[in-house]
Amino acid sequence: MRILDNGTLPNGEHSSLKGCFVTAAAFGDASSERGQIRLQRLSCVRKPNGQILDVPIEGTINDMGGSDGIRGHVIMRNNKLIWNAGISGFLSGMGSAAQQSLSTQSVSPLGVTNLIQPGKVFQSGAFGGANTALGKLADYYIKLADMYHPIVQVHAGSEVNMVFLKGFSLTEGLEDLEATTPYTDKVANNNTATTQDGVPQNLMQTIKDSQLGQAVDVNGSSNSGEV
């Protein structure tokens, strides 16, 4: 997240946080349909010396209305799986009912006995197999649906308010950006300044300061002697 304005301090003061980046951790709350965000780190680059500020922070996010978190839209991705589990369970029950309709009960002193007519054994077996298979399929869909969790989708680019729960220093842990200085700028700073005619300034100054008949070294130092 990028900070769009300076921070607000007590007594009408402000801190230089505009343009800084903030990283955070977020989780969704399906019951309130909001995304809860907890701030973790703050990164800034100080101008004009280019010092880096990277510090841990503690804070939270409120929407523009002052409510905790960011309002989002709850998305359920297991609706189709739950529907398939319901259909499979319904068909499993129909198979069990059809199987029982093909049998008759015989009551005797030994108890109740289910009898299947010889001509309906195949149909009873088919309905019984369908009952077992569809029941297991319904259980599979239910287990698969348990692996999906609802998510809260928030809109990208939303403007929010950052609330820092603990103070932190804006000068502690500053690091120089010397390594990021362009190479051409370093070379330009190390080169010897020259005049418009291409003569080094230190050599030109030595010539001006030398006396008539005094030898001048090309490196810029003067030596006594005749010329």
85 and 135 together in one domain:
yes
Predicted local confidence at residue 121, as pLDDT: 78
pLDDT exceeds 50 at position 146: yes
Q: What percent of the chain has pLDDT over 70?
A: 75
SS3 182: coil
- Structural domain includes residue 183: no
Q: What totals of helices (H) and strands (E) does the chain contain, helices first?
A: 4, 13
The pTM for the full model equals 0.53
- Structural domain includes residue 172: no
Predicted local confidence at residue 32, as pLDDT: 85
Whole-angstrom distance, CA of residue 146 vs CA of residue 82 = 9
- Structural domain includes residue 175: no
User: Domain total for the chain?
Assistant: 3
Range of the domain at 203: 192-227
Report the phi/psi class of residue 215: left, alpha or beta, with left for phi > 0 and alpha for psi in -120 to 50. Answer: beta
86 and 49 together in one domain:
no
83 and 124 together in one domain:
yes
What residue has token string 């739950």? Answer: 82
Predicted local confidence at residue 24, as pLDDT: 92
Each residue's pLDDT tens digit, 35-90? 899 999 999 887 777 788 888 999 999 988 888 888 888 888 888 888 988 898 88
- Structural domain includes residue 187: no
DSSP-assigned beta bridge partners for residue 46: 51
